[in-house]
Amino acid sequence: QFVESDDDEELLFNVPFTGNVKLKSVMVLGGEGGTHPAELRLFKNVPHMSFDDAAGEPEQTFALSRDLTGELEYPTKIARFSNVYHLSMHFPKNFGAETTKIFYIGLKGEWTEARRHEVTICSYEASANPADHRLEQITPQTHFIS
């Protein structure tokens, strides 16, 4: 089984993670001949990325070699991919065919549980309003020592 592009050679994958990932390397197993992808552009933390968004500057770009056995591993710049919760993979071109075929994408890294704190709605007083703090009648007492 494989994924094949429709009309042209471009493919775009959006991969959401259930936690934070430190992405260390990527493997791509493509099709035979010219259908193997020739370039990979990685974008991090851009949910719902489209082909229009892929025209922007990626975090890292790889020139891919033809790999029919899945032996080539492309190391990422770990400092840039240390806190990834969504990965977008854009394959803009191949080796000359009309469509691009991908049989396997491998991601190697470390997963950690996401600690996402939900928004808390709070009300704060800048200064106290005495009308909001009614107390029982308090009589001031003074104590003198003679």
pLDDT digits over 113-122, tens only? Answer: 877 666 666 6
Predicted local distance difference test score (pLDDT) of residue 142:
64
Does the pTM surpass 0.85? The reply is no
The Cα–Cα gap between 20 and 115 comes to: 9
Q: What percent of the chain has pLDDT over 90?
A: 64
Q: Which CATH number fits domain 3-113: 1.10.357.10, 2.60.120.470, 3.40.190.10, 2.60.40.420?
A: 2.60.120.470
| CA nearest neighbour of 28 among 74, 95, 82, 59 | 74
pLDDT per residue over 52-67, tens digit each? 999 999 999 999 999 8
Confirm if 17 and 53 have CB atoms less than 8 A apart.
no
